[in-house]
Structure 1
Amino acid sequence: MDRYVVIDLETTGHSPQKGDKIIEVGIAVIEGDEITDHFATLLNPNQSIPPFISGLTGINDEDVLDAPSFEERAEDIAAMFEDAYLIAHNVPFDLGFLNAELVRVGRQPLKNPVVDTVELARILYPLAPGYKLGQLAEYLELSHDDPHRALSDAHVTAEIFIRLKEKLSLLPYETITQLQKLEKLFKSDLSMFLLELEEDLSFAIKERADIDTYGGLAFRKFEMEKKPLQEITLSYGDYLDSIYEAEGTMEAKMAKYEKRDGQRKMSETIYDAFQMSHHALIEAETGTGKSLAYLIPAIYEAVQSNKRVIISTHTTQLQTQLLDEEIPMIRELVPVPFQAALLKGKGHYISLEKFEQELSDPDQNNYDTALTKAKLLVWLTETETGDIDEIQLPSSGYFFFKKISTEAEGRVDPQSPWFKYSYYQHARRKAQQADIIITNHSLLCTDIFNDYQFLPTYDKLIIDEAHHLEETASRHYGLKLDYVSMQYAFNQLGASNDSGALNKIVSGYSYELDDLPLENWNHILSQCKYEMDDLFRTLFQYVVDQKRKDKSLSDTGRIQYRFDQGDQEPERWETIKEMANRLIFYLRDLIHILSMIEAYFHSKGLLEKQDEDEISKQVQLLQSFIDRIEHLFIHAEQVDTSVKWMEVEAYGAKNAVYLYSEPMDMSKLLADDFFEKKQSVILTSATLTMRNSFTFIRDRLGVPEERLISEKITSPFSYADQVQLLIPDDFPDIKYGNVDEFVYATCEAILSLAEITDGRMLVLFTSYEMLRKAHAVLKENMDNQDYVIIAQGISSGSRSRLKKNFQTYNQAILLGTSSFWEGVDIPGEDLSCLMIVRLPFQPPDHPVYQAKADYLQQSGKNAFFDLALPNAVIRFKQGFGRLIRSTSDRGIVFVCDARIKKSRYGRFFTQSIPEVPITYDSTGRLLEKAEEWF
């Protein structure tokens, strides 16, 4: 069958069962890998077309008034699919709708073999940024002139299908064979395609020079760059002149280059710190160009001294951005060859060995797992890194990936044939050779607190987004325990007669099992699960009861309770400790049985390495549960400097409890384990100071004063001309319980400002609860849906997806909290107004804040001025920085919280941002001022 008929429908809604009808059919016919025919017709649905559908498609009631009904065209449409594959971009929708309509008019439903181009594209284009029709067309550089019209969509789908078919034919034999094993679980009928390709390839194996094969897998060959001979003959001053000054490489290579004195000053400060073996705190305000400013001296120092320099970022996204965007640009700028490598934790890299083992496991083959396996099989033929962050997996695919990441391998055996095919080891080898290693705070802290075993040796380091270092270090030095993780671990271990890890180990030696205590294992595992469930349910109820007694614990549905204060109900807490002890007892029994199994097979000379590794990994995991339970409950009374707390979802499962412990003060640990041991640590961010002072961040991180350089690099932007800061003096005062009135006043201001700025607003909240209330009020009070409201946590999609959607619409308002306060860049006219609803103080009832506040007060310090205020000011600066991202940007910052003017600490906020005109007046007059200014 070499005929493919592509269909796309426009409809009045999503559900034929609810009476929705087809309003347009578009069909494209493919024969011999060419589009040979088209068919299109409007259809009269005999019902009104909803305004949203008319807005999306451009089809209105007048257009379909004289169109035929579906019944009149049903025979012609069905006839087109004879002896053909049915192709659609989301087959369940188009075929489901078409068949429902065919049945409704008394005809037989279509039963053609199908190909879903969404599904096939997810498998064959694993690196695509998205799989909506428009996104794929853009990725494949196909023109899509009339989106949301049936014929245009069908034609583009046909072009995509031809590309997909071609891509499939280029895959290696091993990949085709593995896909064939998974095919029965796909929505698409790919069996004939795969069988033909498998037969063709088995007769004449087409070897690809870029592909390696081992263990039934095909993957892209590993390549190592040869380290170039490097020498710098320029002095550092001449080196900087050749880059920054007139006729330097920046002017020559960068479009729209504007010289920034602060950028060169930052490069000089970093080099000085390196030469003096000093640490440095550098606040580089927005527009400095700090990535290039720190890479330039880092490269010079690394090449000149022949010693690597580490660059650490808070997010893996910024890591990738540095490697993919900044490093290629800087190769054009610096007059010396250099090597840069990216290194992440083991959990980011796929293990080919574990993947090969899991591919043969039939119990994993639900749809999402099958799709994940298929996507990974194709990705392996393309990826050079094996870093899972390159692609998006289906929702449950990340659970599967945990089982096949390098972290799941256990003990490393350099003698294993898989060792030379390890992506993680390849990344480490590249890092060993590199001048610049780009890593993240998470791996950096793992390295610091594990005696520097994870990163190649280094003396000099640059930490970007350094305001996050304390939080990341606290999380790594602390611990977390939760019901879901423990339950997952027990299910992975499994009973002796199911598909878990234990059964996989012992079933390989089935003739030797009589002497093993496997029945005992099943009983103890069952007891373990029971005790764990009992403990977590009791903890859940305990926290809920504390909430009833202390209303301040939470008002957002998530209850946080600190349990290191010694104020628990003694009898109930003793019961909880007994439960924890019982769980530890059974966990130790599981470890004992695993050790017996290992010793038994060892004595028989039977134990294979992969089984030994698996036992070792499971023992370590069970022991880590014991260690964490002991720290949290059994030794909880011991005086230490950590804070312990629980979090539960008030309306969640009755055992969904999350337990945490973190140090209250990281400064001594970082001072001793990090700053003392390294020659030079450069800490930089756009937000490190409060009122031009680095004291807060220096004290929190434990940076030694005696060898420290501090430098503040001011922004090149003219904030006084580009920004107006407006503060209303007539908003309801929230501290008197007027939350709803405050939200209503905020929403009125949002809608009034939106009229002036045509939307283009980012509204930052400090709590999701207030964001949710504001979203409801805005939706209720908007006339004719003038503005698209995009709300974090309510509108679907990731942060970057919400940002993209915001930029797509002409009149949009973006409501954000938490992660939207930083790292979101919306330059130019897309953003004209930033509203800050409340000053971003951490909730005073948060356990970590409470503990740190108590700790500071015991040290004779002021918890508000030494902790709460500096954190809020730094957060405020991050939010403020969202508005102006270039010299041509212009906008308004509207702060609804009058404390910024009325309170004695308000000046700490206004004096910590660039100097801008500030107006404190009634909302009405502020709106007039905004209109005049724009």
Structure 2
Amino acid sequence: MPDLKHIFSPDGACSTVLPGWRSRPQQLAMAEAVERAVADNSVLLAEAGTGTGKTLAYLIPALLSGGKVVISTGTKALQDQLFHRDLPAARRALKSPVKVALLKGRANYVCHHHLQRNLSDGRFAHRDDAAWLQKIARFAETSSSGDRAEAEGIPEDATAWHYAVSSRDTCLGSECSHFKDCFVMVARKAALDAEVVVVNHHLFFADLWLKDEGVAELLPACNTVILDEAHQLAETAAQFFGETLSVAQLLDLAGDTKRLAAVKAGDFPALRRAAEDLSKAARDLRLAFPQNPVKATVAELARYDKWPDALKSMSAALDETAKLLETQAERDADLKNCFERAQAVQATLASWQRDDDPENPRVRWLETTLSSLLLHATPLSVGAMFGAKLTERAQAWILTSATLSVGGDFTHLKTRLGIEDAETLCVDSPFDYPRQGVLYVPQNLPAPNTPEFTEAVIEAALPVLEVSQGRAFILFTSLRALDKARGLLTEAFKFRGWEYPLLVQGDAPKNELLARFQKAGNAVLLGSQSFWEGVDMPGDVLSVVIIDKLPFQPPDDPVVAARIAQAEKNGGKPFMDYQLPHAAISLKQGAGRLIRTETDRGVLMICDTRLADKPYGRLLLNALPAMTRTRKLEVVERFFASHEASPVIASEAKQSSSV
């Protein structure tokens, strides 16, 4: 086997095929740890600071191992990047002929059956859908993959895709007349034949638990599983190890049943009427709650008077629809599919209504959106279930991210994932943070729970935005604060005559906003959770990241509240053991948007004085990159005035700062 030290040396294989690549001891250290874990079939938690090059650090030893490898990423965007950019680079470096495959969830592939059925049906929610669907049909005729990401000129978020793909509920499986040329089955076969398969976490867990997306077939033959962006795993696992039933599911079932009843069972009008009753009952379920969003546990639902009757009516309408569908299921594969979907919904509803099992504690709760309602049953812990999966067979598991530990301590993640015996590795970033960045915590800001807090944040941010000439992300922990800040900044920019483009989450798709930010060169972007991670904006275009509050999870969130109560019941310390580590990792993620390369420079401004004033602030500070710290605006102004942060600035900042 080629020697990793040589491959990652200044004149090794990586340097010959990767433009701009630099030898880094941190990258080699991680690669060697991955190599050992693969050889020993062990579990490794590897935290690699930004700039380490962690992707190559796990790809190179994984490819060299010669076994089958499954790699899972946090998002589809990162999945595509790894497959189309990073994996080819690693193969070139090693001159490796291994077969590779990209596997996504079924909703990413054109479904011939649903596409043709909906083209024939001709009923669409939006005027443009028919034209887009024709374009999708032309794409499907020439594409070898059917992957919607490859459909040039057709937006991935176009509503017409709803009519061109299937879901776990609507797929006909082997009974489909297009089964032999199904794009999903082609992708799964390619994955089975490949030596390296790239998936994403949602697909991975959907299959791990629901056995629905083709990964379960891969795992038994797999030697190494690599889970990138592993800080997301506990929450993703909770989502899939739990259960959810939505009004949208009910409306889809009712709508499909009503349409099929007219086309396939026109001589049985009772089915159409039952579907109409189910549709009305599902809408009434949402109307049982106020228009404003609601999150409530089962115990808290008693305050909503209309809820019990609405649930009872919906359940009765569902049962009647299922009963009538059963009588018609043999007439048509689509009708049979609707019957099976109705049965699955009945089972989920029955499970949600069932009393909790003390052996497997969960929280049953409900949330509403503007037009929908969702019933959730979320496990309080996924450790036992996830940990058991990792020990089912002899194989290596590599869990990696830039943010796994709290100051080098992996206890929080180990406990949540049930992998207390995992090996750990923590390699620092190669960046010169004291020179490249300033951490600024303004003085004299009000407490974050006061009504005037957002106004104070914007007032403190304005002089920073002035010296940085825009080029900033302002990240919020709530959409309410984001909306308020939008109005304040719009007014402030107008008053000062500033022409910095103001980009706001929700005004356009995330990728479009980021493209506008990049192109403008002096924009200010307001974002919440989705912009805290997975955003790579190197260079001068992003020079300031402002965070309004420490990202503690809301204690009144049903799942968070239940986990806190469970920890207290078990004699634990939920703030220190759960809430604080979670906030530290989230804070590291947000801060990580700023310095992306060895030449980047910028200011991280955190407007929550608890970072400096509270005893636990020290733990959060230690979790952040080791930037120059200050509480003085003058230090920030001089940082931007100078070509680079001088030792004088760093020295003065330390003397003037209690951060």
> Does the residue aligned with 1:830 lie in a helix, a strand or coil?
coil
State the AA in 1 paired with 2:96: V
1:282 aligns with 2:282: no
Q: Give a deviation string over 1:466-500, Cα, whole Å, max 9, x none.
A: 01111111111222222233123201210xxxxx1
Amino-acid identity (%) = 28
Alpha-carbon separation, structure 1, partners of 2:362 and 2:527: 32
Report the alpha carbon displacement of residue 878 of structure 1 after superposing the two structures with TM.
0.6
Residues 746 and 924 (structure 1), Cα distance of their counterparts in 2 relative to 1, 3 Å cut: farther
Residues 595 and 929 (structure 1), Cα distance of their counterparts in 2 relative to 1, 3 Å cut: closer
State the AA in 1 paired with 2:416: R
1:801 aligns with 2:563: no
Find 2:96's aligned residue among 328, 336, 352: 336
Question: Any conservation in 1 of the 2:261–2:269 contact (CA below 8 Å)?
Answer: no
Partner of 1:133: none
Report the alpha carbon displacement of residue 428 of structure 1 after superposing the two structures with TM.
1.2
* TM-score, scaled relative to structure 1: 0.65
Matches within 5 A, 1:565-580: 566=299, 569=302, 576-577=307-308, 579-580=310-311
Find 1:411's aligned residue among 161, 164, 173: 173
Matches within 5 A, 1:467-866: 467-494=231-258, 500-506=259-265, 513=267, 518-538=268-288, 540-541=289-290, 557-563=292-298, 566=299, 569=302, 576-577=307-308, 579-598=310-329, 607=331, 611=332, 613-633=333-353, 635-636=354-355, 639=358, 641-649=361-369, 652=370, 656-677=372-393, 679-705=395-421, 708-735=422-449, 737=450, 739-740=451-452, 742-782=453-493, 783=495, 785-793=497-505, 796-866=507-577
Question: Any conservation in 1 of the 2:478–2:528 contact (CA below 8 Å)?
Answer: yes
Find 1:262's aligned residue among 21, 26, 30: 26
Residues 629 and 339 (structure 1), Cα distance of their counterparts in 2 relative to 1, 3 Å cut: same
* TM-score, scaled relative to structure 2: 0.90
Alpha-carbon separation, structure 1, partners of 2:410 and 2:608: 26
Residues 727 and 406 (structure 1), Cα distance of their counterparts in 2 relative to 1, 3 Å cut: closer
Alpha-carbon separation, structure 1, partners of 2:496 and 2:538: 28
Alpha-carbon separation, structure 2, partners of 1:894 and 1:815: 14
1:325 aligns with 2:75: no
Report the alpha carbon displacement of residue 365 of structure 1 after superposing the two structures with TM.
9.4
Report the alpha carbon displacement of residue 283 of structure 1 after superposing the two structures with TM.
0.2
Q: Give a deviation string over 1:720-744, Cα, whole Å, max 9, x none.
A: 2111111122112234x2x32x323
Residues 750 and 623 (structure 1), Cα distance of their counterparts in 2 relative to 1, 3 Å cut: same
* Residues matched between the structures, number: 635
Residues 484 and 595 (structure 1), Cα distance of their counterparts in 2 relative to 1, 3 Å cut: closer
Matches within 5 A, 1:86-235: 235=1
Alpha-carbon separation, structure 2, partners of 1:503 and 1:243: 65
Report the alpha carbon displacement of residue 785 of structure 1 after superposing the two structures with TM.
3.8
Partner of 1:898: 609
Alpha-carbon separation, structure 2, partners of 1:761 and 1:472: 29
Question: Any conservation in 2 of the 1:833–1:891 contact (CA below 8 Å)?
Answer: yes
Question: Any conservation in 1 of the 2:111–2:164 contact (CA below 8 Å)?
Answer: no
Alpha-carbon separation, structure 2, partners of 1:263 and 1:450: 36
Residues 250-259 or 894-903, more deviating: 250-259
Alpha-carbon separation, structure 1, partners of 2:162 and 2:195: 35
Report the alpha carbon displacement of residue 270 of structure 1 after superposing the two structures with TM.
0.8
Partner of 2:627: 916
> Does the residue aligned with 1:728 lie in a helix, a strand or coil?
coil
Alpha-carbon separation, structure 1, partners of 2:310 and 2:47: 50
Alpha-carbon separation, structure 2, partners of 1:673 and 1:452: 16
Matches within 5 A, 1:375-454: 375-391=135-151, 392-393=155-156, 395-402=158-165, 408-413=170-175, 418-450=178-210, 454=214
Report the alpha carbon displacement of residue 377 of structure 1 after superposing the two structures with TM.
2.5
Alpha-carbon separation, structure 1, partners of 2:17 and 2:350: 59
Q: Which has the higher contact order (CA 8 A, sep 6+)?
A: 2
Alpha-carbon separation, structure 2, partners of 1:380 and 1:534: 39
Partner of 2:8: 244
Alpha-carbon separation, structure 2, partners of 1:576 and 1:814: 40
1:888 aligns with 2:599: yes
Alpha-carbon separation, structure 2, partners of 1:332 and 1:667: 38
Alpha-carbon separation, structure 1, partners of 2:321 and 2:229: 43
Residues 931 and 459 (structure 1), Cα distance of their counterparts in 2 relative to 1, 3 Å cut: same
Residues 405 and 537 (structure 1), Cα distance of their counterparts in 2 relative to 1, 3 Å cut: closer
State the AA in 2 paired with 1:344: K
> Does the residue aligned with 1:265 lie in a helix, a strand or coil?
helix
Alpha-carbon separation, structure 2, partners of 1:670 and 1:676: 10
State the AA in 1 paired with 2:563: K
Residues 242 and 335 (structure 1), Cα distance of their counterparts in 2 relative to 1, 3 Å cut: farther
Question: Any conservation in 1 of the 2:133–2:164 contact (CA below 8 Å)?
Answer: no
Report the alpha carbon displacement of residue 379 of structure 1 after superposing the two structures with TM.
1.6
Question: Any conservation in 1 of the 2:45–2:424 contact (CA below 8 Å)?
Answer: yes
Alpha-carbon separation, structure 1, partners of 2:542 and 2:550: 21
Q: Give a deviation string over 1:305-333, Cα, whole Å, max 9, x none.
A: xx411000111111111111112212210
Q: Which runs of 5+ in 2 are unaligned?
A: 646-659
State the AA in 1 paired with 2:326: S
Alpha-carbon separation, structure 2, partners of 1:866 and 1:699: 10
Residues 520-529 or 482-491, more deviating: 520-529
Question: Any conservation in 2 of the 1:350–1:423 contact (CA below 8 Å)?
Answer: yes
Alpha-carbon separation, structure 2, partners of 1:558 and 1:419: 41
Alpha-carbon separation, structure 1, partners of 2:606 and 2:229: 25
Matches within 5 A, 1:447-466: 447-450=207-210, 454-455=214-215, 456=218, 457=220, 458-466=222-230
Residues 452 and 378 (structure 1), Cα distance of their counterparts in 2 relative to 1, 3 Å cut: closer
Alpha-carbon separation, structure 1, partners of 2:209 and 2:295: 27
Q: Give a deviation string over 1:116-139, Cα, whole Å, max 9, x none.
A: xxxxxxxxxxxxxxxxxxxxxxxx
Q: Give a deviation string over 1:826-872, Cα, whole Å, max 9, x none.
A: 11111122212211111111111101111111111111111111111
Residues 714 and 506 (structure 1), Cα distance of their counterparts in 2 relative to 1, 3 Å cut: same
Question: Any conservation in 1 of the 2:119–2:130 contact (CA below 8 Å)?
Answer: no
Residues 598 and 920 (structure 1), Cα distance of their counterparts in 2 relative to 1, 3 Å cut: closer
State the AA in 2 paired with 1:412: S
Q: Give a deviation string over 1:595-617, Cα, whole Å, max 9, x none.
A: 22245xxxxxxx5xxx2x31231
Partner of 1:188: none
Runs of 4+ in 1 over 6 A off after TM superposition: none
Q: Give a deviation string over 1:491-546, Cα, whole Å, max 9, x none.
A: 1210xxxxx12233235xxxxx4xxxx233244334433443444333x15xx8xx
Report the alpha carbon displacement of residue 798 of structure 1 after superposing the two structures with TM.
1.5
Alpha-carbon separation, structure 2, partners of 1:576 and 1:803: 42
Report the alpha carbon displacement of residue 417 of structure 1 after superposing the two structures with TM.
6.5
User: Higher Cα Rg: structure 1 or 2?
Assistant: 1
> Does the residue aligned with 1:766 lie in a helix, a strand or coil?
coil
Question: Any conservation in 2 of the 1:371–1:394 contact (CA below 8 Å)?
Answer: no
Residues 929 and 720 (structure 1), Cα distance of their counterparts in 2 relative to 1, 3 Å cut: closer
Q: Which runs of 5+ in 1 are unaligned?
A: 1-234, 495-499, 508-512, 545-556, 600-606
Report the alpha carbon displacement of residue 450 of structure 1 after superposing the two structures with TM.
3.5
